[in-house]
Amino acid sequence: MTAGLSPLERVGEGERGVLAATLDRVGHLATTQVRHGLPADTSGSSEEWISCADLLGDPGMFDRWRKRLADWLSERHDAEIPERTTSGYIMSWYLQVPGFLGGLLFHASRRVPSLRPADIAFRLSGDRPHPNAVALLSDDFCCLPDDPESHRPEATTVADERALAAMFRARFTAHAAKFVTAFGPGTRFGKRMLWAAATDALDSSGWLAGRACGDEGAGVADSALFLPTAEAPLTSASTLRAVTGDDGNALWTRRRESCCFHFALPEQRACTTCPRITEDERSARVLERGR
């Protein structure tokens, strides 16, 4: 899966810029690490760094990734794994790579990085084959006029927060469009499902970034900026909502637009955010989990 990783060879631990400093500060806070550049030495590691550009340019790599995931799941469930489940997992995992990268930098610094496939790489875990780290390979960013680094040659200013959120949405959507084109023909998913998954990744990006940085409510507000309305090809406005228990404490949840088909695994049920469950069941599960 690591054949032809030429974009990874050009960016390492060299000169570190504005975005690198932000990621040094917050990139380790979430389960998926986000960093600037690649480690100087990955030799001897069972974990693989993959260029998004290489992966989208060779859709056969998705087939090999699905096979590896199917083998991993089969060992744990002692069953044949449905193709829709491996495709659903990988669809969601991949789209979270540019989504969480952009959401984290927007939340932590009000900056939007380049989200071109050539400017992003991710690392697959040596065990469960999911992205456990993301690397930004570019210093370019968009920011607000009062950003103290707006004078830099790699900076592009936009008018206000709504314009900055629109820039993130546009850059993410451009990346997602390349994913839909590359990944779609190898699955039974239609374009509506693929764009629903992209909507989920964008909506979750602010929420997860806020949670990682210790201000979940602010992250939810960011997601509302990213998806104020259903703007095609994305399929909905933000679906994040608060669930309040008897004690008055509010917990956040959302209804997914797409499905990862986790429920198709043996003895598994639909996820809490799954569109297949009712809002009443979703609320009950969120409150039970929050106790």
Note the pLDDT of residue 46: 56
Note the pLDDT of residue 238: 98
Q: What is the pTM of this model?
A: 0.92
- Say whether pLDDT at 5 is over 50: no
DSSP 228: S
The mean pLDDT value for 51-76 works out to: 96
pLDDT bin (cut points 50, 70, 90) of residue 198 is very high
Q: Give the list of residues 6+ apart from residue 196 with CB closer than 8 angstroms, or none.
A: 235, 236, 256, 257, 258
Kindly report the three-state secondary structure assignment for every residue of 70-114.
HHHHHHHHCCCCCHHHHHHHHHHHHHHHHHHHHHHHHHHHCEEEC
Residue 244, strand partner residues: 250
Segment 27-41, tens digit of pLDDT: 999 999 999 999 886
**Nearest residue to 181 via CA among 94, 123, 83:** 94
Q: Which residue has the higher pLDDT, 8 or 264?
A: 264
**Nearest residue to 90 via CA among 182, 219, 222, 206:** 182
How far apart CA 88 and CA 91 sit, in angstroms, is 5
Within its chain, how far is the Cα of 209 from the centroid? 10
Q: Which residue has the higher pLDDT, 157 or 127?
A: 157
Distances (CA, A) of 288 to 4, 221, 244, 246, 285: 47, 24, 11, 12, 5
Is the CATH number 1.10.510 carried by domain 7-229?
yes
- Say whether pLDDT at 282 is over 70: yes
Segment 149-175, tens digit of pLDDT: 999 999 999 999 999 999 999 999 999
11-15, 91-95, 130-134, 207-211: least confidently modelled range: 11-15
Note the pLDDT of residue 267: 85
